[in-house]
Amino acid sequence: MAEDLRGKVPGVKKPAETEKTAGDPELAWRVLGLLNLYRLVVPSVLVALSLLASRPQLLGAAAPSLYFATLVAWFATGVVCIGLLKTRWPTLQAQAFIHVAFDIVAVTALLVTSGGAGSGVGLLLILPVAGVSLLLPSGSRRPSARSPRCACSGSRSCCRCPACRMPRT
């Protein structure tokens, strides 16, 4: 019965359509765009909270001017990344590395200006790092010293011979 509904009912997809969306490059670009939205919203919210706070705050307490400069720079990198996303240059993988590098530098600077890990600012890295890790292909991981070797050639990747039992890369 479910097979009869595939393709006819909007919520029921054919297996080929499901596989297409899992590796769809358009989806990956949209995810990177959402991560860039995060890069624009978080500094804006932190500036607004800092300006509206009536009592002393923990965020930016160690170096307030550097804290605000970091937030402005982080927002500016988000604006620059909009241009990169629109042109789709460089490649998706290169942009993923660029975006997460911006985030790591910005959050590290916010950690320093807020007095260290006790401020909780480091938690801002969870979403960008997790999102970028979903975008990177599994082939970008290097084999470890414990990864299996091919019995025929001794290499860590498949030699493409019929007797090889390693997964083809």
Residue of 169, 28, 21, 34 whose CA lies nearest to 91: 28
For residue 55, the model assigns a pLDDT of: 76
Burial label for 50, CB within 10 Å (0-12, 13-18, 19+), is middle
Question: pTM value?
Answer: 0.68
**Residue closest to 93 by CA, chosen among 82, 84, 104, 83:** 84
- Measured CA to CA, the distance from residue 147 to residue 149 in angstroms comes to 7
Which residue has 């995810």 as its token pair?
Answer: 31
pLDDT digits (tens), the chain, 169 positions: 555 555 565 555 555 544 444 467 888 999 999 999 999 999 999 999 988 987 778 888 899 999 999 999 999 999 999 999 999 989 999 999 999 999 999 999 999 999 899 889 999 999 999 999 888 776 544 555 555 666 565 665 666 666 666 565 5
